[in-house]
Amino acid sequence: MSRSINIFAALAAISFMCAPAFVSASPKTSKLKGAMKFLSEAPLEKIVGTADGMGEVAFDPMNLSALKGKIIVPVKSMKTGNERRDSHLRSEGWLDEAKFPEITFVSKVVKPVGEVVTKGPVSSAKVTVEGDFTLHGVTKPLTAEVELKWKGDKLKLKTQFQIALADYNVAGTGDIVGSKVGKTIDVQVRLRGVVSK
Amino acid sequence: MKAIRAICLLGVIGLGVFWYTEGMHLATLEEKLVETTKVDDFGDEVTEKSWVKVNEIGLDYLGPAAGLLFGIAVVITIKLRRRS
């Protein structure tokens, strides 16, 4: 009897020691890759483009508020289907790739929206991410709703938001913004990666 | 002369129709974004994006060509008026 009590006590002690480790498990880092799609709608022209996206996210499914991440989009990877327009986009009058080669988003505050939903091996959650969005050398706060999904060691996220070109001092050449290029740009980001062990 | 003028004006209209059928782009589209749907390893429908080579001519080429034809028609009209 006393032996079984001892075993129970030992198991309880082990459980107690292990419990804090699960609660405060440090977030796992995930390198993400994917694509960004952007859409400009102006009275004279509708432009659809893509760019490569990459990022690093520190992710702990037990504590979504601790999510931290940075997403980088190289300006040179932006494509709109017309070589001359792409070189204009990268030029000094527009995004000025030589001076500002990257578009970045760095998360600051993450608030979970609702509960984590688990269906079979796939779990998903929505979070509101507040962070700093940097374009054309101008950094502004940006809030976006991000959908996270994870399965085993795989993680993917998607989000979409709008940016106003004037907020980032992107004036273009002539009076193009507002007529041929939309004043606001719709941005969709899809990234995925593997969480490091 | 009148026949040439008529051909030029018809050319302008033809270029307009051609521009319409090409998708009315301001800038010629050299590549088009094609999105195909597939189911990923999460069981979600996702779109895969790829650029496919096309040549949908825009106003950057058709505009000057139409302008040239229209200019020729105007010059012919002026010459015909002066003659009469």
**Percent of chain B clearing pLDDT 90 (strictly above):** 79
In this complex, the residue of A49, A85, A149 whose CB is nearest that of residue B42 is A149
Instruction: Give the global pTM.
Output: 0.79
Q: A154-158, A176-180, B14-18 — which is least confidently predicted?
A: A176-180
Query: Do B27 and A35 lie within an 8 Å CB cutoff?
Result: no
The residues, ordered by sequence, that sit 6+ positions from A97 with a Cβ below 8 Å of its Cβ are A75, A76, A90, A91
pLDDT of residue A24: 40
| Residue A133 pLDDT exceeds 60 | yes
Q: Which conformational region is residue A151 in: left (phi greater than 0), alpha (psi within -120 to 50 degrees), or beta?
A: beta
In this complex, the residue of A49, A83, A180 whose CB is nearest that of residue B30 is A83
Q: What is the chain B residue with the closest CA to A121?
A: B42
| Residue A101 pLDDT exceeds 80 | yes
Q: Which tens digits make up the pLDDT trace of B24-64?
A: 999 999 999 999 999 998 989 998 999 999 999 999 999 99
Query: Do B33 and A190 lie within an 8 Å CB cutoff?
Result: no
Per the CB < 8 A criterion, the answer to whether A168 and A140 are in contact is yes
Calculate mean pLDDT across residues B67-76: 95
A88 close to B (CB below 8 A): no
**Average pLDDT, rounded, for chain A:** 86
